Amino acid sequence: MGVLSALVDQLNPVTQRLAQQSTPVLVFGGIFAFCVITTVLNIIQQLLFVDSNKPPVVFHIFPFFGSTINYGIDPYKFFFACQEKYGDTFTFILLGRKMTVYLGPKGNDFIFNGKLSQVCAEEAYTHLTTPVFGTDVVYDCPNHKLMDQKRFMKFGLTSETFRAYVPLIIEEVETYLKNSPLFSARKGPVDLLAVIPELTIFTASRTLQGKEIRKGFTGEVAGLYHDLDAGFTPMNFMFPWFPFPQNKRRDAAQRKMAQTYMDIITKRRAAAARGKQPEEKDMIWNLMNQKYKDGTVVPDKEIAHMMIALLMAGQHTSMATMTWILLHLASRPDVVQDLYEEQLRIFGKDLEPLTYESLGELTLHNYVIKETLRIHPPLHSIMRKVKSPMRVPNTHWVIPDNHYLMAAPGVSAIDGKYFKNPTAYDPYRWAGEKVTIEEEEEKFDFGYGLVSKGTSSPYLPFGAGRHRCIGEQFANVQLGTLLAMFVRLLKMNLPDGQKEPAPPDYASLIAMPQRPATMIYEWRKPEKK
Ligand code: HEM
């Protein structure tokens, strides 16, 4: 016994050392074995246990990650490949979430016009949007409250306000282009991704957001906006709370930005109490004068958060669209020439100033905006959380309530079933081709005015149903004025040897062109610069 215990005593340090050394090996070995087993089970499950009562699942090797990479690299390529294999309805795994996609006009209708008891946008988006916009607005409140908030916002987007906005946008563009060192030569290359984000934010802030916020964009507000914007990343669908440095900066910027709006509101209320009339009736002014349906006055904090929501919702979408417009025009000098001639016809050879009314007469300009939104709708995927099981019409499939729904109206917008030569950039198509367009669609009031239900349109860049965009008219005024000003002032081309605009980059939530998005500008009248 004595020998044995002496031997055990001697061996003890050796076994302990071995156990210490092998702990990481055991842990990694265990994790590896777990991954292999779950991967194998995932594959077996897909091959042998197909649930015929649910839409087909896109085949994937790894559980949790599923089709995340294929979808993330190029959502359209992924959608079209799946459509060919599985049809219009299929489910794929996106970072552990079961996303059921339903393509085509019927799918758009199914998702956009799903009943409130069945689909919910709040649960699909709130993780991403609430830390940026703030609480109690948009997706951080019940749907009926959002409908009320959209009603308030629409009151601030009338023909009267747009009429006042056009000269303000013109002034911003002229000042910017004439003073920017980026346009100082008679002719030269310019990176549109350095120019258009600034121009869109300056024009949106000068109009919708009001004078004070526009002034702020030459100082502190620009930095706050930048930090808020950095919080808008796909990663935050999963980890909005994670203390990444950019999330900490986002939260600080949200508080400061909201305070900036609240200070403006306080000053304006004090001025009104002294009997001072507002200088301009912008969106802040409009929201300060609204009441919820139950009679409650809109709290200042909610006004501030709605203003942030409007800033963010409009900035990315308009900026992406304007960049694509200019890149496509740079690839089509023939279209630029036709646009210039359209302006000469309407405004005379001295090109009278643009007005809100005259924007409506610029038919080809409007076709250019429409065609750009057909090929590059900024939002490629629109999501809802399923709240109660939904049967897919004319099938035996039922989508369970642990799934998310995904609509992709950009797919039908480039489908040969609805548009001839669908991937060609051809603004003139809108003059001839017969397309079911929204104006002919059934309309419904969800609480913020009549909107199209979009039940059979293959072209829905602004969505449809209760969550339809309220910013379409503003976007058209902003984009139309910017476009007309660029055409008036500049000729545009792509760099030598480049025939097509840069391809899309889907790394962010909005489909932007890949860098560098270079355009060659040439002043039409350099002496007037
Ligand atoms: C909603 C597109 C500009 C404010 C939407 C939706 C789309 C869209 C597709 C529906 C989202 C969904 O169903 O989940 C666009 C495009 C724009 C644009 C293509 C420009 C080219 C703007 C502007 C503003 C704005 C300038 C603000 C002034 C909103 C708001 C919603 C919305 C408040 C409502 C969200 C909801 O009800 O859930 N937009 N948008 N948008 N948009 Fe826009």
pLDDT at 22: 66
Q: Which atom of ligand 1 is nearest to the CA of 309?
A: 33
Report the alpha-carbon distance of residue 435 to residue 412 in Å, rounded.
Answer: 12
CA 313–ligand 1 middle distance (angstroms):
6
CA 25–ligand 1 middle distance (angstroms):
51
* Percent share of the chain, pLDDT over 70: 93
Half-sphere exposure of 213 (CA within 13 A, CB side): 31
Nearest to 138 by CA among 123, 156, 118: 123
CA 133–ligand 1 middle distance (angstroms):
14
CA 42–ligand 1 middle distance (angstroms):
38
Would you say the CB of residue 156 lies under 6 angstroms from ligand 1?
no
Report the alpha-carbon distance of residue 492 to residue 482 in Å, rounded.
Answer: 14
Would you say the CB of residue 314 lies under 6 angstroms from ligand 1?
yes
Report the alpha-carbon distance of residue 238 to residue 127 in Å, rounded.
Answer: 8
Higher pLDDT, 309 or 441: 309
Q: Which atom of ligand 1 is nearest to the CA of 124?
A: 14
Report the alpha-carbon distance of residue 501 to residue 527 in Å, rounded.
Answer: 30
Out of 469, 481, 509, mutate this one to test ligand 1's pocket (max ligand atoms within 8 Å of CB): namely 469
Mean pLDDT of 222-251: 88
pLDDT at 281: 83
The DSSP secondary-structure symbol of 60 reads -
pLDDT at 220: 82
Q: Which atom of ligand 1 is nearest to the CA of 377?
A: 19
Output the six-digit token pair for 218: 């030459």
- Is pLDDT above 70 for 263? yes
Report the alpha-carbon distance of residue 250 to residue 304 in Å, rounded.
Answer: 16
- Collapsing DSSP states into helix, strand and coil, what is residue 411? helix
Mean pLDDT of 9-19: 59
The residue assigned the tokens 């930095």 is 223
Cis before 131? omega within 30: no
CA 50–ligand 1 middle distance (angstroms):
38
Would you say the CB of residue 458 lies under 6 angstroms from ligand 1?
no
Is residue 99 within 8 Å of 92, Cβ to Cβ?
yes
Is residue 111 within 8 Å of 384, Cβ to Cβ?
yes
Is residue 169 within 8 Å of 208, Cβ to Cβ?
no
Nearest to 383 by CA among 119, 141, 91, 55: 119
**What tens digit of pLDDT does each residue of 358-371 get?**
999 999 999 999 99
- Collapsing DSSP states into helix, strand and coil, what is residue 90? strand
Report the alpha-carbon distance of residue 136 to residue 250 in Å, rounded.
Answer: 18
pLDDT at 394: 95
pTM: 0.92
Output the six-digit token pair for 237: 């669908």
- Residue 375 CA from chain centroid, whole number: 15
ipTM above 0.95, yes or no: yes
pLDDT tier for residue 1 given thresholds of 50, 70 and 90:
very low
- Is pLDDT above 70 for 171? yes
Nearest CA, atom 41, ligand 1: 471
Output the six-digit token pair for 433: 């081709």
How open is the CA angle 52-55-59, to the nearest 5 degrees? Answer: 95
Would you say the CB of residue 410 lies under 6 angstroms from ligand 1?
no
Output the six-digit token pair for 223: 């930095």
Would you say the CB of residue 378 lies under 6 angstroms from ligand 1?
yes
Report the alpha-carbon distance of residue 518 to residue 528 in Å, rounded.
Answer: 24
pLDDT at 16: 65
> For residue 189, what is the enclosing H or E element?
strand 187-191
Full 3-state SS string of 210-247: CHHHHHHCCCHHHHHHHHHHHCCCHHHHCCCCCCCHHH
Output the six-digit token pair for 331: 């690839």
Report the alpha-carbon distance of residue 139 to residue 146 in Å, rounded.
Answer: 7
Q: Return the biggest CA–CA distance within the chain.
A: 113
**What tens digit of pLDDT does each residue of 80-121 get?**
999 999 999 999 999 999 999 999 999 999 999 999 999 999
Would you say the CB of residue 471 lies under 6 angstroms from ligand 1?
yes
Would you say the CB of residue 480 lies under 6 angstroms from ligand 1?
no
Q: Please, where are the H alpha helices in 89-158?
A: 104-112, 122-133, 143-155
Report the alpha-carbon distance of residue 471 to residue 522 in Å, rounded.
Answer: 32
Output the six-digit token pair for 519: 């355009």
Would you say the CB of residue 114 lies under 6 angstroms from ligand 1?
no
- Is pLDDT above 60 for 427? yes
Computed over every residue of the chain, the mean pLDDT equals: 92
Q: Please, where are the H alpha helices in 231-299?
A: 245-273, 283-288
95 contacts: CB under 8 Å, gap ≥ 6: 64, 65, 66, 68, 237, 238
Is residue 75 within 8 Å of 406, Cβ to Cβ?
no
